[in-house]
Structure 1
């Protein structure tokens, strides 16, 4: 069963509480329940970032420490949170420096080095697929 955001009713992604705890502003740590399953609302126009299954805790963009890359107003738009590499840096590496794959991006931007994705990425997992999507989009734009 797909979980949907209690506010916008769009599909969400499951995230571990350790990720939520690491990214929520200190003032709101008390709202995080250990071992509770959390979800990240994937709607770019919704202010909700995380919520739990019981809908007892809804954490919006104002309650997290980092901008969420796919949310419409994210600034900067980090793709690799561990190394603070932005969408703009990846696109620049493809268009202006000839990057064509993850290895090139890694060498040119430092993305995906020294990763602690479970703690730093809002999804709590490797940014590799998002780096690949960004490379493909930049390559299509450049052709």
Structure 2
């Protein structure tokens, strides 16, 4: 299955530590930044650089390179890792917010199976819909597990 949700080899970067929080980030494709950044921020991208996603919830930085950063206010959507509101998407492609995942759990629905079916049907677009530029299934699974622990 050739899709955006396949694991890919990360491009090496000068550093993958966020310059603000010093947490290790994950490389993202340029297409992700092009899809996610607001126009004013998009005009500042340096395409020859490698960009990294910072998933630290307490850090304002979403993307960084060796010479620049892009913060939450420069991104078109609310970033799951940066905002704990219930209406924030956990799965950006298929509209699974924290609230919808909690409701599905109460109704004994299976959102992970739904998302997997969509991925297998080659319908996901995580590289352009998800700010982290990667498959959301890990986030969905982690959220469901944490929800069960908190319940």
Shared fold (TM-score, shorter chain, > 0.5): yes
Structure 1 length normalisation: TM-score? 0.81
Residue in 1 that maps onto 2:108? 98
What is the CA-CA distance between 1:6 and the residue it aligns to?
Answer: 0.4
What is the CA-CA distance between 1:141 and the residue it aligns to?
Answer: 3.5
What is the CA-CA distance between 1:36 and the residue it aligns to?
Answer: 2.3
1:65 aligns with 2:62: no
Coordinate RMSD, CA, aligned: 2.6
Structure 2 portions without partners, runs of 5+: 1-12
1:86 aligns with 2:97: yes
Q: Quick one: which of 122, 131, 135 aligns to 2:140?
A: 131
Task: Compare relative contact order (CA 8 Å, sep 6+) and give the higher one, 1 or 2.
Answer: 2
Q: Map 1:1-143 onto structure 2 (within 5 A).
A: 3-52=16-65, 54-55=66-67, 57-72=68-83, 76-94=87-105, 96-100=106-110, 102-103=112-113, 105-106=114-115, 114-142=123-151
What is the CA-CA distance between 1:111 and the residue it aligns to?
Answer: 7.6
Distance 1:74 1:16, change over 3 A: farther
Q: Is the Cα–Cα contact under 8 Å of residues 61 and 71 in structure 2 kept in the other structure?
A: yes
Structure 1 portions without partners, runs of 5+: none
Q: Is the Cα–Cα contact under 8 Å of residues 94 and 115 in structure 2 kept in the other structure?
A: no
Distance 1:66 1:77, change over 3 A: same
User: For 1:70, what is the secondary structure of its paired residue?
Assistant: helix
Most deviating of 132-141 and 43-52: 132-141
- Distance in 1 between residues matched to 2:142 and 2:31, nearest whole Å: 26
The aligned length equals 136
